[in-house]
Amino acid sequence: MCMRARWLMLALLAHGVSHVVVAQQRTSTISGTVRDESGRLVPGAQIFARHLETGTVRQAQTGEAGLYRLVALELGSYEISAEKPGFRTALARGILLALEREAVVDLTLEVGPRHESVEVTAEARTIETAASALSGHIDSKSIEELPLNGRDWVQLATLEAGTVAARAQYRNVNNGYGLPLSLSGSRPSQNNFQLDGVSLTSYSGSTPGSINGINLGVDAIREFSVLTSSYSARYGRAGGGVIHAVTRSGGNRIHGSAFYFHRNDNLDARNFFDGPNKPEFRRHQLGGSLGGPLVRNRTFFFASYEGLRELRGNTTIDTTLSEAARRGELVGARVAVDPVAAKFAALYPLPNGTLFGDTGLFLYTDDEIGTQDLAVARVDRNLGDRDRLFFRYTLDDGARTDLTAFALGRRRASTRWQSSAIEHTRIFSPALLNTARFGFMRSLTDSGSTATLTPATDDPALGFLPGAQVPGIVLVGGLTEFPGGTGAVDRDRHAFNSFQFHDELTWIRGRTTLYLGGRLERIRFNTDSQSTQSGEFRFRNVADLLRNLPDRFQAQLPGSDTVRGHRQWVPAAYLQASLRASSRLTLDVGLRHEWATVPVEVNGKIANLDELTSPRMRVGAPLFANPSYTNFMPRAGLAWDAWGNGKTVVRGGYGIFADLLLSQFLLLAGVRNPPFFLRGAVRPLRQGDFPKGGYAALVGAGTPEYRIERLERQPGQPYVQHWNLNVEQALAATLTLRLAYVGSHGLNLSSMVEDANLAEPVRLEDGRLFFPAGGRKLNPYFSQIRDRRFEAHSFYHALQVQLRRRLSRGVYGQLAYTFSKSMDDSSTFFAVTEADNGVSLPLNGHPRFNRGLSGHDVRHQLSASGTWALPSPAHGAPRLVFAGWQAGLIAVYSSGVPFSARLGYDAARTLTTRPDFRSGQRPDLAPGASPNPVTGDPNRWIDPSAFRRPQIGFLGNLGRNTIIGPDLATVDFSLVRRFRPAALGEQGALELRLEAFNLLNRANFNLPAPERMEIFGAQSSREDVGRITSAGDAREIQFGLKFRF
């Protein structure tokens, strides 16, 4: 088919067919059967479902098999009635509809006059909306009443089986600031997040969140679902899982809240790495909500605001020069110190912590100041019996400042998120309805603006570039990166806009429900990504720094352009069918076609290196060949009610899910390539070239070594196969157990060679690869070529167990356990620096070389959560003291995540331009040693004697991610006293809250920084190898006051 015809068909689809958002519906469903007293099915009965909050009534009719189904119902409480001439009206009350859960209400009609009604005890069973899906549900009670650290509702997702936090993942401008999650083995960048059916996933592809790392809005979120495996064809834009939240709405009764929460370091414990004086910590969170009718039974409103003001001091540990080293008195040697190097070395603070020899630790308090404001507004309108409209707008503004390394400067960053949704539902008949939605999401991010706090760093005499007033970045083997003067660190400004059009037609015919829909998203991603704008020097070790013998200099060259405007379309269409084959068997089958156009740059400023050996860049579109046009993704599943009583249900599902090539792959490859972005490097340099001679050598070179960010020219389409088999057993009226086997296999996933411009190895007779001396780089025309390829595989297998108790007698709770193993060839999409355990492939042509544990692998995760309303005395004075108390608990244990031992030099003679931890080279394992030589001591987490230097010319034989990091265990606890003054009415309450986070004050250590895992350097080893320098928060106490009405 020609391209013009293809686009014409797409335009017709966008105009005439439905388009539906990723997680599609933000509503729920009621279904069931109607029988008479003898148990015979009753066709033709009229079913009425009344939404108690708004008074809205929906109608259906039972078919020949006595079945009825009402879809696209607003969440909340309902009463259901069934009528037919010759029978009394049957009425069921207290039916609660939840997101992604279908309420099954079976009714019985008794013979008698219709004007007489009989209230029946018809307890609703809740089932998964899709038979194939494996999902979790977090209701409003959990969101409001469990102890939430920072009031970040996304944290609750980790209480579901199969969902773990990717603890090694950095939260920054490239990865996103929200809590990174792995859903049943997915990468954090493979998931999709939605609010009211509108995708919130931004340019990074990871969890949304403000610069402060949290998602506010506990009082605005009604509930959310976590879809972890094998969801239906109605869901897309994700190779992993989907998290879908819905906002609260107004009703016929005025309701609202006001709250204030406070923390202060005077009540908190000392962090493991704090000095004798705890850093300052003050947090204020306040806000409220209000909802109610504008026109009774017709128009309703809801609005919410939450604000955060915080000062948090964090103890930070950097590695600096010892006083003796500054004089040239190194361990085992003495060097003559260059005068300019001495002046620069004086900018490093002296150690005030452990002294190793040539280096020592510098401890300081990084006072982070954070602000955030969230506002949500929503209006719902019933336009009649057949039409419903709703509109929602969200604004989240955040800002944060912190210190650069060595406390030399202050850095500022900000985020601004906007999201809106407008949706119209048209009911053509009880069996046919259509939902149309327009969504918009905009995120603005500004990160990396710095200003010095140390005037000596802004010394023009130390500037690297002509006319520069400040020095740039300096890398020294064995030391923490020096951040330069004002404005020297990388600066990123991103504006991401997503326009989403979607619609879904639902047709119920007999036992079958059909969903026909589609989706069209327009992405506009504008970015200005500055890097090495003040230049960057690299020294191999401390001795070279003191001698003024730099190894490399790189900087942007005149004419370099960092501004880009990327545009992309993401269309989708699907058909999903749900067939109730019998009273005990439901079958789901669906097909989704979803693809993405190749991004274009509005001014044609895009280039790629087609082959690693190409002598020049190819300029202009397409950036790569589009692999997604044939993305036809089948989904199938079944649910079997084993005994016909709803107490034992067996489910299974399988599906294929595309991992689309979207903006996360443009952060570097879409910007930092010549001839538009000109960053050159030069090496080797002469002694004394620091600080002025590096740039002169760079521009004086006939052919500067340009650095390339390459995307594979003809990538395969990344996709993930999901499957699951689970059994859900009702153990009691309020107690349910679910056992599940869950698996996935990812293919054509992204992988990375940090520098693919390497020498070619030869294969020896024993099968080993050898890099002989005198090798030559693949491409003499360029320097580093960071190569993003799509040839990695991933594998996930898990046993997931979940025990849930519904609220009964004041107790609600859930226990979840996951035993899993996740392996892959690569866990990265952006760069190896996206996580503490990110590892590059150290060579070309061997995509399985790094196969090992995934960076987000967690072998065991156990979580327990719940609330308990303590029994209240019936009357008298004891009731005044002991009534209204409630306890809440979240307890989590999680195994450690894996990481790797690395080399700080090019032992294999690959000729990499990144001869440090970024290269991916690893040591040999010493004979008889464990590949996981953990000591348990944070001062040296691993035993370095377990490793050996590889033979020159050979890659080390140690695998990737063989070392297991520290585990995590935390208990969060809340104690609430609730007063119910009569003046506030039945729903009103005043709450006093006491919350303790990390109640047991356990030190939950982070991983060692990747540079501290360089076991060997070219001549020596790091003195702080394997050292852990940070941990999670110590015990913190929070007081809260909340008023509900």
Q: Are 420 and 386 in contact (CB under 8 A)?
A: no
User: Domains in the chain, ordered, with CATH?
Assistant: 19-128 (2.60.40.1120), 159-277 (2.170.130)
- In what helix (H) or strand (E) does residue 1016 lie, and over which residues does it extend? strand 1014-1016
Per the listing, tokens 């190749």 go with 598
Q: Which residues contact 585 (CB under 8 A, 6 or more apart)?
A: 638, 639, 640, 641
Measured from the Cβ of residue 871, the count of other Cβ atoms closer than 10 Å reads 11
The token pair at 357 is 């020899």
Contact 493, 502 (CB under 8 A): no
Beta bridge partners of 411: 402, 450
Q: Give me the count of residues in the chain.
A: 1045
pLDDT score recorded for residue 17: 32
CB 125 within 8 A of CB 33: no
Longest distance between any two alpha carbons in the chain, whole Å: 107
**Token pair belonging to 1:** 């088919």
> pLDDT tens for residues 334-373?
999 999 999 999 999 999 999 999 999 999 999 999 999 9
Q: How many CB atoms lie within 10 A of CB 727?
A: 16
Indicate the pTM of the whole model.
0.93
> To which residue do tokens 């991916």 refer?
920
Q: What's the burial of 377, exposed, middle or buried (CB within 10 Å: 0-12/13-18/19+)? A: middle
* CB within 8 Å of 605: residues ≥ 6 apart: 561, 564, 676
Please report the pLDDT score of residue 190 as a whole number: 95
Q: Counting Cβ atoms within 10 Å, is residue 196 exposed (0-12), middle (13-18) or buried (19+)?
A: buried
Low-confidence residues of the chain: pLDDT under 50: 1-24
Phi-psi region of 627 (alpha: psi -120 to 50; beta: other; left: phi over 0): alpha
CA angle 212, 217, 223 (to 5 degrees): 130
Q: Among 97, 374, 96, 72, which Cα is nearest to 221's?
A: 374
Q: Residue 175 — φ and ψ, nearest 5°? A: -95, -10
